[in-house]
Amino acid sequence: MNAHITGTGRFIPPDILTNQDLSRMVDTSDEWIASRTGIRTRHIARDMSACDMGEAAARAALDTAGLSPADIGLVVVSTTTPDRPLPSLACDLQLRLGLENAFCFDIGAACSGFIYALDIAALYLRTGGVTHALVVCAEKLSAITDYTDRRTCVLFGDGAGAVVLSAADKPGGLLASYLAARGDGGAALHCAPGGCIQMEGQEVYKFAVRAMPEAIEKTLAKAGRNVTELDFIIPHQANIRIIQSVMHRYGLPPDKVAITIDRYGNTSSASIPIALDELAREGRLRPGALLLMTGFGAGLTYGATLFEWSV
């Protein structure tokens, strides 16, 4: 059995926070934010919870997969901002969506959460225990952002992305993945209970430009594939300069690299599935397309996964 992505969905909250808005809140400017990060706008979930956003993204993914809630056997949610400590956001989604045949849990891998969650779900599909799994990344980073700290508040946005993974006895789907963590770097990006995100930006930056190439190369090597064979790469959207460093390193042209950071900012683990859903709905992912997704984040965690698109 191979694990294939059979549906995608996203939800972006309607309220927009622009660089101009932020420049009225802290000592910053559109020029600084755009040139240092590539971000122009981010969306904020004013009256919505992570669960509300995750529900909308999950409904869209189920719809594109053509499945009913009862078909789902597993729900894995990645979130840094669950609505409450207990029960898990995955169980709340089960109730809201009527996913009566699923077992459900959340994982904590911060911005690498989609890469981690996909791999975990795929393991259950490959061993035959589950036929369809729902992976949901729902992030309300505005709830843990300090809007008096210019070093972090310009970076983050809210949103959710989801995919349905289905087991099928045909080639393609998930070809290889590589997950890693470096707990000794965890102090560079953290959040205390009830507090806001604290970040040593340059430390995380240096980590990211090493970690993503390592994850890309290890994943491609496992699959026996080469970077020149890739049709698309979806990097975690944290800073356009980090993405560009990966593009330059491998000579990737802009049309092969998904970029949403200008519109949505950093939506943590939701950034990759949101970009994936955009590519899929624009009809740019043809069957056979080779797609690599790679992320990094608090932990510090990082990883990559390689898919052959099959729907």
- Identify which of residues 133 and 300 has a Cβ nearer to ligand UT7 in the complex: 300
- Identify which of residues 71 and 146 has a Cβ nearer to ligand UT7 in the complex: 146
CB 31 to ligand UT7: min, Å: 9
Instruction: Mark whether 91 is an active-site residue.
Output: no
Helix H or strand E segment including 29 = none
- Identify which of residues 149 and 217 has a Cβ nearer to ligand UT7 in the complex: 149
CB 236 to ligand UT7: min, Å: 6
CB 235 to ligand UT7: min, Å: 11
- Identify which of residues 104 and 272 has a Cβ nearer to ligand UT7 in the complex: 272
Residue 305, Cα to own-chain centre: how many angstroms? 12
Active-site residue identified among 2, 19, 239, 266: 266
Instruction: Mark whether 266 is an active-site residue.
Output: yes
Active-site residue identified among 4, 132, 236, 239: 236
Per CB under 6 A, residues contacting ligand UT7 are 28, 32-33, 36-37, 111, 150-151, 154, 189, 199, 201-202, 204-205, 208, 238-239, 266, 297
Active-site residue identified among 111, 137, 153, 191: 111
C-alpha distances (whole Å) from 216 to each of 38, 69, 198, 289 are 22, 34, 27, 17
**Residue whose tokens read 């992305």:** 161
Nearest to 280 by CA among 310, 303, 251, 252: 310
CB 86 to ligand UT7: min, Å: 26
DSSP 38-82: --SEEEE-SS--HHHHHHHHHHHHHHHHT--GGG--EEEEE-SS-
Q: Which residue is nearest to ligand UT7 (CB)?
A: 201
Rg (CA), the chain: 18
CB 199 to ligand UT7: min, Å: 6
Angle at 12 (CA atoms; ends 297, 293), nearest 5 degrees? 40
- Identify which of residues 207 and 307 has a Cβ nearer to ligand UT7 in the complex: 207
- Identify which of residues 204 and 252 has a Cβ nearer to ligand UT7 in the complex: 204
Helix H or strand E segment including 303 = strand 301-308
- Taken in order 146, 152, 154, 157, the sign of the CA dihedral is negative
Instruction: Mark whether 4 is an active-site residue.
Output: no
DSSP 8-28: EEEE--SEEEEHHHHHTTSS-
Nearest to 150 by CA among 201, 191, 203, 91: 201
CB 271 to ligand UT7: min, Å: 8
Catalytic positions, written as ranges? 111, 236, 266
